[in-house]
Structure 1
Amino acid sequence: MPEASLSDRQFQRLSAFIEGEVGIKMPPVKRIMLEGRLRKRLRALSMSSFDEYVDYVFSRDDGEIVHMIDVVTTNKTDFFREPEHFEYLSDTLLPRQVAQGWGIGSPFLAWSAASSTGEEAYSLAVTFEEFRRTNSSFSYRILGTDISTAVLHTAEKAVYPASRIQPVSQILRKRYFLRSRDRAADLVRVRPEVRQNLLFKRLNLMQERYPLRDLFHVIFCRNVIIYFDRPRQEALLRRLCNYLVPGGYLFLGHSESMASSNLPFESVAPTVYRRLEGVALDGSPPDGSADVSSKQGVFSKQKERW
């Protein structure tokens, strides 16, 4: 029996939905890719045709929408990817801003806004832990978000093939990673004292309002806006700006820029931008359900799961 194929009409419906829901363009050249990835969902649901699957998706089964997004989104990340950002964080940003009181008394808040399988968020945590070695009064919390539930599950487990930590120095590997007792498995896990400072949640960066209560000192949103058209890029950057404290920092990917935006940022290093103080944007972060502040409520529950 031949495999099901995706018709032009089906592809157009799905690509329009994906672009509207996630912001990712799906031009015709991606039809074969989309067809191949969605066949996994047909097999999982014991469906024999894309007609059946598309009807199922557009019946507004939100659970299947989440699964579909999981298989069509691309997640590329590494520990200490674009290392210059982490060097700027440890050598310049933290010493300067902690001297101004950031992270003293209440936690320094960082958001990895497209955290994928967690390597970026844990790289932030290792950077903060290293800073704490000589600044014991410093504390931090990290929120990692992604639209894919599959990658968030990996991030929460914090277990990786040993080959994934090749970019991490030997000293940092010994300090912050545990080797599996089963040497044949060749796995590592981030130490619990590091994991306790992180929270992972599903969040769609394209939604107009985020369920977050806090303002962040640092937001990493790297290699994300390149997938969006200009209006969506502008809208996302504006939303992120609203979630930064005045003087807070936004890190973009190496091929991304704010050059054409009218947002209140100044460039302080390659693809590192500081929100100007005393310049307000229309709107402010709404009240919501996710709390990564010093109140500890969400984080104490997170510890119980670990």
Structure 2
Amino acid sequence: MISAPQNAVDAGKEFDFSLQDFNRVRKMIYDRAGISLAEGKQQMVYSRLARRLRAVGMRSFTDYLNRLEGSREDDEWEAFVNALTTNLTSFFREEHHFPALAQHVKGRNGPLEIWCSAASTGEEPYSIAMTVCEAFNTLTPPVSIVATDIDTNVLTTAERGVYSLDKLERLSQERLRRFFLKGKGRHAGMAKVRPELQRLITFKQLNLLSAHWPISGPFDAIFCRNVMIYFDKPTQAKILSRFVPLIKPDGLLFAGHSENFLYLSDALKLRGKTIYELHRAGPAKGSASELKAMA
């Protein structure tokens, strides 16, 4: 719990930042993006938003937040959300999902559609793309991937598809050779995703709380991993209810390792470790026991 009094300001801070300011930030990011900030995140909020105050030349959080609330369509809202969005990701994170995805798509007739709903800086959608290329043994599989995120900054990084070699340490040498072009000269120490892989993915900005999503579906698979943990239970249930009609009858929904969707939706049942299918779904490629064996 935060013990500071309502109007307290930490001594020595560059900017005035009271508990009242912090609570305003919590409400504003919840209303805008559905993100529930814990009470213990006061220092994180200060450090991230202080950069915005410097950028726009303001001296107090109160003035900054007043500006935001006075201009609902201000570009600064985008910067505000970007600053408070956490983008922890890596290639083939939660690795057990990818053999299950390969088994799911293998042998199917295209075109297949996959949605990665939290693309971050691109590691997840490119891992999906590599997996389907390997499943079909071609760099041009009958698969299209739409990768979305609320944060426009990370989407720019994802679209570029350029990563430092230390970000690729978990990849085998075979995957590095097949899917990346190593930089030379002033680009040494970097690698770029091959154009064939990039062409499989369409990147779009999407707020899961928006009334309209710029996607249509239905999808053979949806990845929504380590996203729901930032939302409260009513928001989680609302988002899941919108996922369900976008999943094909035999499609799969992939969740994060700490997320449990069963108590949020009667439409889903567990297929494997943090892998869900629709209750009405018939048998799909790979039995449940096969998927569980991979998990």
- What TM-score do the two structures reach when normalised by structure 2? 0.86
**Residue 267 of structure 2 is aligned to residue 255 of structure 1:** no
* Distance across 2 between alignment mates of 1:123 and 1:26: 29
Q: Which residue is 1:265 aligned to?
A: 268
Which one of the candidate residues 107, 115, 121 is aligned to 1:117?
121
Q: Distance in 1 between matches of 2:150 and 2:187?
A: 33
| Conservation of the 8 A alpha-carbon contact between 2:250 and 2:281 | no
Residue pair 1:238, 1:263 contacting (<8 A) in 2 also: no
* Superposed CA RMSD: 2.0
Counterpart position of 1:220: 223
The SS at the match of 1:93 is helix
Q: Shift of the alpha carbon at 1:250?
A: 0.3
For 2:148 and 2:187, the matched residues in 1 are separated by: 32
Report the AA paired with residue 194 of structure 1. L
- The equivalent position to 1:79 in structure 2, one of 91, 104, 110, is 91
| Contact 2:236-2:264 within 8 A present in 1 as well | no
Residue 169 of structure 1 and its aligned partner are, at CA, apart by 0.9
Tell me which residue corresponds to 2:285. none
Gaps of 5+ in 1: 280-306
Matching of residues 192-207 of structure 1 within 5 Å: 192-207=195-210
Secondary structure at 1:83 match in 2: coil
Q: Relative to 1, partners in 2 of residues 1:4 and 1:262: Cα closer, same or farther, differing over 3 Å? A: closer
Residue in 1 that maps onto 2:53: 42
Counterpart in the other structure of 1:211 = 214
Show the counterpart of 1:178.
181
Identity of aligned residues (%): 38
Where do 5+ consecutive residues of structure 2 fail to align? 1-11, 283-295
Is this contact kept in 2: 1:247–1:276, CA < 8 A?
no
The aligned residue for residue 66 of structure 2 is 55
SS in structure 2 of the partner of residue 74 of structure 1? coil
1:121 deviation in Å? 0.1
How many residue pairs end up in the alignment? Answer: 270
Cα distance in 1 for partners of 2:43, 2:276 equals: 38
TM, length-normalised to structure 1: 0.83
Cα distance between partner residues in 1 of 2:13 and 2:90: 38
Larger mean CA deviation between 251-260 and 176-185 belongs to 176-185
Residues 277, 62 of structure 1: alpha-carbon distance in 2 compared, 3 angstrom cutoff: farther
Q: CA deviation at 1:257?
A: 1.3
